[in-house]
Amino acid sequence: SMGAVTVNRDEVLRYLGYRRPEADDAVAELADTCLEELKRCAAAKYISRTFSMDIRGACVSFGGVAGESDDLAAPVHSDMLANHLEGCREVIAFAGTLGAPVDRLIHRYSQTTMSRAVVMQAAATAMLEAYCDEWMGELGREARERGLYLRAQFGPGYGDFSIAHQADMLALLDCGRRIGLTMTDSYMLT
């Protein structure tokens, strides 16, 4: 778990589909109050593990993703992921969450005040992105100390990297036990 991060209100509005100065004062104020409420209940956590990897054509193998062991036997088939990782020798598997209290808060508002629930969801997304940026900055510093650098994040569901691999990633990192992050049958993270 890490300390509080600064979340830009404009990022919340961007997730809601607004561009400055389109958002009126009421929406901006609602974004601010949602962020304040989230700060009080968020219990941000993340986990990461570094794996060696192998690329053969469009097949990327690391840490047994989609397989049953920690060897490099079971590949992820993704042209975009293979191109993104070309020249790399390691991959960092990473997951983060704001914690169950945030999910409960959004669910509670979805039962009572849907407009606030929508803004709260956008605020939570912006907050999680801010935490992830902070965490990735730390991982980047650690990589630089080893003479390496990080490429941009690339996750299941992006391009041709199937969302079905999200279950593999959660299992690979033991997210349920380690940070309480799980997945529904429809690939929603909870």
Q: How many whole angstroms separate alpha carbon 3 and alpha carbon 15? A: 23
| Digit-coded pLDDT (tens) for 83-103 | 999 999 899 999 999 999 999
On the 0-12 / 13-18 / 19+ scale of CB atoms within 10 A, 75 is buried
Mean pLDDT across the chain:
88
Residue 67 has pLDDT above 60, yes or no: no
pLDDT of residue 52: 87
Q: Where is pLDDT greater, at 97 or 21?
A: 97
Would the pLDDT of 190 be above 70? yes
> pLDDT class for 4, splitting at 50, 70, 90?
low
Nearest in space to 117 (alpha carbons), one of 49, 178, 185, 30: 30
Report the alpha-carbon distance of residue 10 to residue 122 in Å, rounded: 11
- The mean per-residue pLDDT over the stretch 75-88 comes to 93
Q: What is the pLDDT of residue 71?
A: 47
Helix axis angle, 100-112 relative to 25-41, nearest 10°?
Answer: 140
Contacts of 94 (CB under 8 A, 6+ apart): 46, 47, 48, 132, 135, 136, 139, 153, 173
Q: What is the pLDDT of residue 3?
A: 55
**What's the pLDDT tens digit per position in 123-180?**
999 999 999 999 999 999 999 999 999 999 999 999 999 998 898 889 889 999 999 9
Tokens 């801010």 belong to 130
pLDDT, residue 20, reads 64
Q: Can you tell me the distance from the alpha carbon of 82 to that of 36, in angstroms, rounded to the nearest whole number?
A: 40
Most confident of 50-54, 110-114, 186-190: 110-114
> pLDDT > 90: what percent of the chain?
68
Tell me what pLDDT residue 64 has.
59
Task: Give yes or no for residue 46 having a pLDDT over 90.
Answer: yes
Give me the pLDDT at residue 172, please: 87
